[in-house]
Amino acid sequence: MNKYESVVIVNPNLEEESIKAVINKFSDLINTDGKVNSVEELGKRKLAYEIKKQKEGFYIVFKFEANPTLISELERNYRIADEVIKFIVVKEEE
């Protein structure tokens, strides 16, 4: 299993319960074929440029271990989720 870090920017207009639901949804997805090591909520931040008519975003950082096959499924789910504005998944160096 490889180590990964994923930064997800979600809609800042979501209520706290909805943000928790998003975190749980993606944590559960990662845990199906991997293991979440940590989830860090960085809170609302101003975006460098407007994305989907939003000037702010709520940042969430997932650090996890997973098989490479899980990454394509995770990214597919990020694209489908309406709450997600932007995302990136990066493999960490050993």
> Residue 2 contacts by C-beta under 8 Å, 6 or more apart in sequence?
65, 66, 67, 68, 91, 92
Domain boundaries defined on the chain:
2-57+66-83
pLDDT per residue over 18-50, tens digit each? 999 999 999 999 999 889 999 999 999 999 999
2-57+66-83 homologous superfamily = Ribosomal protein S6/Translation elongation factor EF1B (3.30.70.60)
Q: Quick check: 33 and 66 in contact, CB under 8 A?
A: yes
Q: Give strand pairing partners of 27.
A: none
Q: Provide the total of helices (H) and of strands (E) in the chain, helices listed first.
A: 2, 4
φ/ψ of 71, rounded to 5, equals -60, -45
Summarize pLDDT for 49-85 with one digit per residue, the tens: 998 888 999 999 999 999 989 999 999 999 999 999 9
pLDDT bucket at 93, cuts 50 / 70 / 90? confident
Helices (H), the chain: 16-32, 68-80
49: closest CA among 92, 86, 75, 3? 86
